[in-house]
Amino acid sequence: MKQSGYAYAYGAGTIINAIATWKGAAFGIELKTEAEVVLTDSKNIQGYMEEGGDTRLIERCVELTLLHFGSTIGAKVATMSEIPIASGLKSSSAAANAVVLATLDALGEKLEPIEAVKIGVQAAIEAKVTITGAFDDACASMLGGFVITDNKRKELINRVERDSEVLILAPDKKVFSSDTNVARSRLIGRWVELAYNEALYGNFEKAMTLNGFLYCAALGFSTEPMMAALEVGIEGVSLSGTGPAYTALGSPELLDELEPVWRGIGGKVIRTKVNNSGGRICR
């Protein structure tokens, strides 16, 4: 047993929000969450998040990973993140994945990436930070690239790698996934299914833009950031998760045009790119 472990995982942007149909799609982004887990002789698990917030998720991730291997020892777990919390950029999925990987590192154990994802998803459900378990977001965070999933079955349908720059508009307010109006989201299910089918065909930009307009309408978010992106020629833009952040995929030239427009709207604007590599243990 190594006693201490270190790992990281990435945030993600939304192609299809799975709340309406339990079917989702997402892509990894180059915003990182790092985790450190130190095993202790006590039976307590104590969490600390440098970025602030509720530590129940990361503590439960450690606990479930230890239980998977029949261990009842204690641990201290800490995370540090570049991802804005409660913005729809999958900060919870990144934290869960990073902590599960760091716990595996501390134990000197291994799991297939999807099995590690499932531990984090279960912890997120138990910590009540998600509605569907966010299996799509967790897969994008852990595996990188563009993923398509069935969240109810916890099944990865497809994964592809594509390079693209990403622009993020992250308003100052926080929106927690667990507070989302599920009933209104389910009303748009048949149209979200159309967007999901576009993702299955690899039309990710078309899928995410349809998704964005649908969920903005259902959840009461402005479509102005999306319209501004379309006006400069961006084809892929969406509300990310349940908001309030928006993400846009595009060429450097188009994002150069969009960036000052989004800065004028207000909030934090982040320039990054798609992550295709996924989470890793730090050796």
Tokens matching residue 269: 């604007």
Which residue reads 């999901």 in tokens? 196
Q: Rounded to whole angstroms, how far apart are CA atoms 92 and 250?
A: 26
CATH, domain 1-283, list 3.30.2320.50, 3.10.129.10, 3.30.230.120, 3.40.1350.10: 3.30.230.120
Q: Rounded to whole angstroms, how far apart are CA atoms 63 and 59?
A: 6
179 falls in which pLDDT band (50, 70, 90)? low
Q: What is the mean pLDDT of residues 2-16?
A: 95
Q: Rounded to whole angstroms, how far apart are CA atoms 234 and 18?
A: 23
Q: Rounded to whole angstroms, how far apart are CA atoms 200 and 198?
A: 5
Judged on CB neighbours under 10 Å (0-12, 13-18, 19+), 228 is buried
Q: Rounded to whole angstroms, how far apart are CA atoms 6 and 37?
A: 7
Q: Indicate the domain borders of the chain.
A: 1-283
The answer, yes or no, to whether residue 232 has pLDDT greater than 90, is: yes
Under 8 Å CB-to-CB from 121, ≥6 apart: which residues?
96, 130, 133, 134, 135, 138, 154
Q: Which of 173, 180, 260 is nearest to 220 (CA)?
A: 180
Which residue reads 């799991």 in tokens? 111
Beta bridge partners of 235: none
Its pTM surpasses 0.85: yes
DSSP letter for 178, please.
G
Tokens matching residue 86: 């409660």
Q: Are 44 and 74 in contact (CB under 8 A)?
A: yes
The answer, yes or no, to whether residue 197 has pLDDT greater than 70, is: yes
The answer, yes or no, to whether residue 148 has pLDDT greater than 90, is: yes
Alpha helices in 108-239 (DSSP H): 113-126, 135-143, 182-187, 189-200, 204-219, 224-231
Q: Rounded to whole angstroms, how far apart are CA atoms 115 and 97?
A: 11
Comparison of pLDDT for 242 and 232, the residue scoring more: 232
Cis peptide before 244 (omega within 30 of 0): yes
Alpha helices in the chain (DSSP H): 56-68, 91-107, 113-126, 135-143, 182-187, 189-200, 204-219, 224-231, 252-265
Q: Which of 113, 137, 220 is nearest to 175 (CA)?
A: 220
Helices and strands of the chain, counted as H and E runs = 9, 11
Strands 165-170 and 246-250 turn out to be: antiparallel
173 falls in which pLDDT band (50, 70, 90)? confident
- Model confidence over 86-142: pLDDT tens digits? 788 999 999 999 999 999 999 999 999 999 999 999 999 998 888 778 999 999 999
51 falls in which pLDDT band (50, 70, 90)? confident
